[in-house]
Amino acid sequence: MLEERGWKTIKIVPFRRSGKWITGAEIQENAEGKKRVKRFKGFIKESGKNVVEYKGETLRFSMIQRFNIPSLDYWLKIHEHIVKLLQELEGQKSLLEWEKKKK
C-alpha cells in the first residue's frame, strides 16, 4: 500500500462503485501511532496499486483524489452543510419531508 510522508494505509473501506470509479475511505497511521481518515475517489484499472474487495469482487484501483477528514466535528459540520444544500436543490425543508417522499 502507498506511504505518503510517513503515513501508511492500514485499511481501505469502499463505499460505492460507479462504472470505472470507486469511492470510499482509507485509514492511515504514522510512526507515532496517530491515525487519520481520508475520503477518496479512485479509478479502477488493472495496474492499480490499491486492492479492495467490493460486493464479492476484487478491484484494483488508483486513487485520484483524497480529502483529509481531521475530526468528527469537522465531518459533522460538512455533513450539515451538504444536507442543507441538497434540501435546497430538492425543495425540501427537513429530513422528515425527505423520508416521507422516499416512502
pLDDT digits (tens, 9 = 90+) for 52-69: 999 999 999 999 999 999
Residue 2: pLDDT over 50: no
Residue 56: Cβ within 10 Å count: 5
Residue 5: pLDDT over 70: no
Domain assignments of the chain as residue spans, ordered by start: 1-70, 71-103
Contact 50, 43 (CB under 8 A): no
Average pLDDT over the chain reads: 89
Q: Which among 15, 1, 10 is positioned nearest to 35, based on CA atoms? A: 10
Q: CA 84, 90, 96 angle in degrees (round to 5)?
A: 65
User: Which pLDDT band holds residue 11 (cuts at 50, 70, 90)?
Assistant: very high
pLDDT at 97 (0 to 100)? 72
